[in-house]
Chains A and B, each alone.
Chain A
């Protein structure tokens, strides 16, 4: 399965068709006309993919620019990763009806369509593994997540350039995809290197007009990845992150809170954040109610509301909770940090707070970030 083959660019449409023939709806990167940027949306064919589009990311800023190239994947990442396709940001969990003095519960789970996501990055796959650990491998197993996860086919594409906000090399989660994929592509100017990671991936690509990859093509793909490893940002080494335990009273937290809007954009775009809240939506007649679940944020006051008090009353405490959970206590829970270096929390922060730089400053490693 690990044999590397070459798929000409003209055959990318055939790959999408082969996936669709396998019964999957295909989700891929699409330029957002009204709102700008890229987002993972359903695509009907290769014509829906961005072409010759490069992203420029910096704290609080994301812009696309035409490069004139034929490439479809010459951007670093999209706004939301693949999280919404497994952990729905809003969903109806169940419904209950009062009938003849009894409560009748109804499941709201229904048969889901098989879903393929094309253009998944190494940081996205690493984040998915972290979400799996939370939703599928912990004591409580989430049936809603599980149902979607089991229907997922993952077509990863190795990065060909890193955004200025990327720091996956420092977390060890990228830029090279090494596991968790069904099909893996490297995009070159004329076409793609193609590998498969699972039998179902191999079945889908079996009839594609692939050729053996040349050593020159393999070298080009390797050079691209090497180029991606030269990133502008880096987190401190994992071995030093335990130092946060001694930094809970650091004055930097208050300085961050002066800039932080407590808007929760960072947690919403973070591919590993899993916090959620549940609420009831009763019908006006009071006879039935629906139970819903929303993605929640540790930047909300009610997120830490326990027994009549808010544990994290101010933005200082909330930002500290977000960063120290990601980089410190996450490791106790899941055996690794909750950060895969995608840099979304930096790009999509309206105030442009630089998570990687702040981590370095707090751990007194100022030289490591720019």
Chain B
């Protein structure tokens, strides 16, 4: 009898980039397939019903249609643990920008017969609809992060997730701060670590891929950005990025732009 834990990897509204963290594991993918049974992963051709019983369901993507809601509830009902991976599943993703728009109006302006489109007016995080046991941030999540998470689940412990800011990893890498030396609007001081400070290590400003860090002071940081020369609308747009619907960033966006920030 196969005693390997059964794992399913489901996709909702997303670019599929987080699932690639599994595909890109290299030889570890072979080891992974020895340790767990991958029951469902459409990206590589494993297809199972949403009602297949699994130990862990990894969820990529956000919830944007009534059909998504039904499917997610079925998956939840048949999974012992449900783990979100990535910005879309954890905060609603870049597509949550639509939450502030008139989606019916957009539909009318794009589709000849909008009545055929069955879409929710919002893009929501998985946790807005079902209980989530663990959240993995990132856009996308990294191979290292997924390996660490899977190994922890196999050991029966929660993965170590750091809430610290990108700045600390940036400093560990020996980088000089581009905000301080060049006045670049780097979002590291409000963004959760996990990427290895990838962008600032190459002189490019952080743009919030891993979502809000623990103890984020968006109000003060927005003022810092204005001190660097951004106007309040530009500050709002800095927060209204990949994780725009994460509460700390959503509130910051409102704070610096008012409620009409999506209207032209």
Are the CB atoms of B163 and A286 closer together than 8 Å?
no
Give the complex CA separation of A260 and B171 in angstroms. 18
Are the CB atoms of A295 and B167 closer together than 8 Å?
no
Shortest beta-carbon distance from A41 to chain B in Å: 8
Q: Chain B interface mostly helix, strand, loop or mixed?
A: helix
- The residue on A at minimum CB distance from B167 is A263
Q: Which residue in B147, B163, B171, B189 is a CB contact (below 8 Å) of A302?
A: B163
Are the CB atoms of A284 and B217 closer together than 8 Å?
no
Are the CB atoms of B164 and A34 closer together than 8 Å?
no
Are the CB atoms of B224 and A284 closer together than 8 Å?
no
Are the CB atoms of B163 and A60 closer together than 8 Å?
no
Interface size on A, residues (CB 8 A): 49
Q: Does B232 contact A (CB under 8 A)?
A: no
Are the CB atoms of B168 and A351 closer together than 8 Å?
no
- The contact string, 1 if C-beta is below 8 Å from chain A, for chain B 189-206, is 110000000001011000
Q: Which residue in B148, B154, B172 is a CB contact (below 8 Å) of A286?
A: B154
Interface size on B, residues (CB 8 A): 44
Give the complex CA separation of A63 and B165 in angstroms. 24
A273-316 interface (Cβ within 8 A of B): 279, 281-286, 294-295, 297, 299-302, 314-315
B146-172 interface (Cβ within 8 A of A): 147-148, 150-151, 154-155, 160, 162-165, 167-168, 171-172
Are the CB atoms of A36 and B182 closer together than 8 Å?
yes
Q: Does B174 contact A (CB under 8 A)?
A: yes
- The contact string, 1 if C-beta is below 8 Å from chain A, for chain B 207-235, is 00000001101011100100100000000
Give the complex CA separation of A84 and B182 in angstroms. 23
Are the CB atoms of A268 and B167 closer together than 8 Å?
yes
Chain B residues contacting A268 (CB-CB under 8 Å) are: 167-168, 171-172
Shortest beta-carbon distance from A31 to chain B in Å: 10
Chain B residues contacting A264 (CB-CB under 8 Å) are: 164-165, 167-168, 171
Give the complex CA separation of A315 and B150 in angstroms. 33
Are the CB atoms of B150 and A350 closer together than 8 Å?
no
Q: Does B138 contact A (CB under 8 A)?
A: no
Give the complex CA separation of A284 and B148 in angstroms. 8
Q: Does B175 contact A (CB under 8 A)?
A: yes
Give the complex CA separation of A75 and B251 in angstroms. 42
Shortest beta-carbon distance from A220 to chain B in Å: 31
Q: Does B20 contact A (CB under 8 A)?
A: no
Give the complex CA separation of A350 and B188 in angstroms. 10
Q: Does A61 contact B (CB under 8 A)?
A: yes
Q: Which of B28-36, B78-86, B102-110 lines the interface with chain A?
A: B28-36
Give the complex CA separation of A79 and B171 in angstroms. 10
Q: Does A197 contact B (CB under 8 A)?
A: no
Are the CB atoms of B214 and A90 closer together than 8 Å?
no
Give the complex CA separation of A80 and B227 in angstroms. 24
Known A89-B174, A261-B190, A265-B167; contact A286-B155, beta-carbon cutoff 8 A: yes
Known: A62-B177, A347-B180. 5 other contacts (CB 8 A): A35-B175, A80-B174, A285-B31, A300-B168, A315-B217
Q: List 26 A-B contacts (CB under 8 A).
A: A35-B175, A35-B176, A35-B182, A37-B177, A60-B179, A60-B180, A79-B176, A80-B176, A89-B171, A263-B165, A263-B188, A263-B189, A264-B164, A268-B171, A282-B151, A282-B155, A283-B151, A284-B28, A286-B155, A300-B214, A301-B215, A302-B162, A318-B215, A347-B180, A350-B221, A352-B227
Q: Pick the 8 closest A-B CB pairs, nearest first.
A: A36-B181, A268-B171, A34-B203, A89-B172, A263-B189, A37-B176, A35-B176, A37-B181
